[in-house]
Structure 1
Amino acid sequence: MAGTTVEDGGAVLAAFHRALEAIGLPADTAEHTAAVAYALDTMGRSKIEVFRALTGGDEARAEAANRAFEACYDEALDAQGVREIPGAADAIELLRSAGRHVVLTTGFSRATRDRILDGLGWHGLVTLALSPADAGRGRPYPDMLLTALLRTGTESVHRLAAAGDTTSDLLAAHRAGARVAAAVRTGAHGDADFATVPHTHVLASVTDLPALLDALDTDTAR
């Protein structure tokens, strides 16, 4: 969601800073800097899993960090509202009008995910929205994408297309066997990052996805 269909505005990174301070890693320390670097490298993954890794598996500290993260992110939503990546809703409409299911996946908790959907008014726009808790494991594991496939009754992974702004998105798509694993340049990672993991396409924005899928379907039908 954030960075692919939803504008971040720096809120995710700011929330990570607040969460790290909440568990005793103050800004301007080497530990804080290293933790932020890890958070950036693993952007797109389940937030609680990131905090578990950063705290060495200390569940109490990880949960405290996750609570601080979500509180800060909620404050950002209150302050700046929720904004889509320009044209994202129109792209989703095009995909749906072509008979495609549109499933949003995210590393956010269900509560944060639903708050974003409420702010955008997207509950009726998308087919489904999934968080790691809905599927088992978050990215870079394929669980959310395979859960989307099962819940929508899609017949094959060869009919699965995934787009995302992080290497974790692309790894999840590759591991799920998706026909399309498309990177988008509107979020956390860029072309140099995308080059380090398997992917099929690099798009300027998710708004390019409907045309890509239409072209692929046309080629298949020939």
Structure 2
Amino acid sequence: MTTAAENIRLVVLDMAGTTVADGGLVEEAFTVAAERLGADPAAMLDHVRATMGESKIAVFRHLFGDEARAQRANRAFEDAYAELVDGGRVAALPGARATIEHLTAQGRTVVLSTGFARPTQDAVLGALGWRDLVPLTLCPADAGGRGRPYPDMVLTAFLRTAVADSVRQIAVVGDTSSDMRSGVRAGAGVVAGVLTGAHDADALRAAGATRVLDSVADLPGALA
């Protein structure tokens, strides 16, 4: 009998915290953005940490209220993050590239997704030498503007790759509660949390993780 894990054809992997180590650059770039808008970052960091993985513009809309300030904050954040990336502050998490290559060799299609805007995602991919590693990368703008915890990026991956017959043949993997919620809402057959990023095992399970792994390096074995 074929299990749900064995039947996975499409794997949607988060980037920062799941396949990419950025050494806390999200909080650092947020601090820069808040200060540029004359806000106190310390008063906002709890919300930033709680919403890790979500679309950054959605986080700024919540924090700054009006659209103009949110857009300014988002641009400042993306600029600051890109500068830090250019400074060599990102790296692949141990086993991440090997995992993607292993999954591909198993005949599965891998898509990388993020809550960052496209320029920042491209900067990270370029810094890692990952531009040609997977057939598709997605940011919220590629899915109509809605990032996690909405299911839109997962369902966009499903539609664009056309490799799965059902959403049950999708695995969604990430390090945050919002990653887990997006997978659950998309109907994914496997929703896996990893412990290399923002949220712990209890938070991941509470958000719907069907399994929790120490790292993405454990994923090929979990799906075998």
Corresponding residue for residue 136 of structure 2: 128
CA distance in 1, matches of 2:179, 2:89: 25
Deviation of the 1:10 alpha carbon:
1.1
Query: For the Cα contact (< 8 Å) 2:86–2:127, is it kept in 1?
Result: no
For residues 11-61 of structure 1, what are the alpha-carbon distances to aligned partners after superposition, in whole Å with 9 as ceiling and x for unaligned?
1110111111122213xxxxx3341111110100110111011112x1111
Contact 2:181 2:207 in 1 (8 A): yes
Identify the residue that residue 212 of structure 1 maps to in structure 2.
Answer: 222
- Aligned residue in 1 for 2:50: 41
Higher relative contact order (CA 8 A, sep 6+): 2
Deviation at 1:148, TM superposition (A): 0.3
Counterpart contact for 1:81–1:119, Cα < 8 Å = no
Q: Which one is further off, 155-164 or 75-84?
A: 75-84
Query: Partner of 1:102: helix, strand, or coil?
Result: strand
Which amino acid letter does the alignment assign opposite residue 35 of structure 1? M
Bigger mean CA offset, 89-98 vs 17-26? 17-26
CA distance in 1, matches of 2:90, 2:70: 26
**Is the Cα contact below 8 Å between 1:18 and 1:72 reproduced in 2?**
yes
Structure 1: segments with no counterpart, 5+ residues: 27-31, 215-222
Q: Whole-Å Cα distance in 2 between the matches of residues 197 and 2 of structure 1?
A: 18
The TM-score normalised by the length of structure 1 is 0.91
Please identify runs of 4+ aligned residues in structure 1 that moved more than 3 A.
none
Higher helix content, 1 or 2: 1
Separation in 2, partners of 1:95, 1:175:
23
Q: CA deviation at 1:155?
A: 1.2
- Give the Cα separation in 2 of the matches to 1:90 and 1:176: 26
Partner SS for 2:44? helix
What is the Cα-based RMSD across aligned positions, in Å? 1.1
Give the match for residue 93 of structure 1. 101
Matches within 5 A, 1:60-79: 60-79=68-87
Matched, 1:180 2:194: no
Structure 2's unaligned 5+ residue stretches are 1-14
Match of 1:8 in 2: 22
- Aligned residue among 103, 106, 110 for 2:111: 103
| Percentage of matched positions with identical amino acids | 55
